[in-house]
Homo-oligomer: A and B are copies of this chain.
Amino acid sequence: MTTSTSISVSAPAPANHVYRVCLIGSGGLGTIASLVLVKSGHAHVTVVLRSKYKYITEHGWDIDSIDHGKIQGWRPHRIVASVADAAVNGSEKVEFDYVVVCTKHLPGRHSVSAMIAPVMTAGRTTVVLIQNGLGIEDEIVTAWPSNTVMSGVSHIGSGVEEPNKVVQVGRDVSKVGVHYGLSSVATCSSSSPNPSEIEGVTKTETDLAKIDKRAKSRAKAEAYVAMYNAGGAHKCELVEDIETARWVKLVWNGTFNTVCALTRSSVGELQRSKGREALLVPMMWEIWRIAAASGHPLPETLVKHEAYRLPDDCAYRPSMMLDLENGRPLELDVILGNPLKVARRLGVETPIMDVVYNLLLVESWKMEQRAH
């Protein structure tokens, strides 16, 4: 078990404190996260498993992990079949400190804020969204204004082999941070000041309350990160500006992930076909320009770095491609739809993203027809 070496956290969890954690969505990423939280010794972890509830209750997970080695028949502290079941233990209402959401984010299909309602305690429960895309926190911030909302971008490489094997080949590296207000998707009209910029103005009572909430939110985030690193994650980093980190991730995820899906290509195929130069690099610059226009300037070197960091023989088939091949819903709204909303509002031109988005909408529509 390793401890955090990557960040300095000012308020680590008290040595003996155990947080109540509810984790929803136990795929490749969620199962490793639940393992890390259990291993930390600072969490009692309830995992919500819907379709797999019976099988995992009986057999547990067989884990083969670059960070944690091989573990047979592993189970978290408690497994439940629904979020409602997580909220009660016997006749007792469970109050959670953290609700960690590792599901796909599909706003057109279901609302995360409604889904988590049974396990939320106003003013207490911190929401941690480990999900792709942009603007995912807005509905939570709006629905739970007195709660801390965090999100994380994960670079883990981990997948499930049915029925119960989790294979983690890429180390568990992530950045997490607090959302102190709404995202660019909701606020980028730029007439309203960003709540995170409020410290420089004259402090009214409301301002002071906000600053107090910020401090408390930050402490909760620090405790979460300390716990996560204590559980043997490779590197979980607390960042001040998680929205910028989300834009950074989007530079790869909004381009390779979507275009691989559309052309049914692996990352390496797309690179060798010259699709990288013709499509991905200019598409990355579109995302770069939206981020900059919305107050999240990214380094100039980022595009080249993201476009060329993987080898040309990389056989990786990104998540949206696997979803498309398996007829599962695509996370198109949060990965391309929301950035495009920001672009439209700020007048940033996005000719490639527009076409890729509209083509994937056709694919999504077809999958919905087949599902009905």
Contacts and interface: CB of A to CB of B under 8 A. Distances in A.
A272 B368 CA distance: 12
A270 B362 contact: yes
- Main secondary structure on A side of the interface with B: helix
Interface string A266-287: 0001101111001100000000
B361 A274 contact: yes
Interface string A237-275: 000000000000000000000010011110001101111
A112 interface: no
A20 to B, nearest CB: 45
A366 to B, nearest CB: 6
A269 to B, nearest CB: 6
Interface stretch (A73-81, A302-310, A348-356): A348-356
A285 to B, nearest CB: 14
Candidate in A259, A264, A355 with the most chain B CB atoms within 10 angstroms = A355
Contacts of A265: 362, 366
B366 A263 contact: yes
Nearest to A324: B264
A359 interface: yes
Interface string A360-372: 0111011001000
A272 B351 CA distance: 23
Interface string A335-363: 00000000000000001101110110111
Contact of A275 (B269, B356, B362, B369): B362
Contacts of A354: 351-352
Contacts of A273: 361-362, 365-366
Nearest to A278: B358
Interface of A: 259, 262-265, 269-270, 272-275, 278-279, 351-352, 354-356, 358-359, 361-363, 365-366, 369
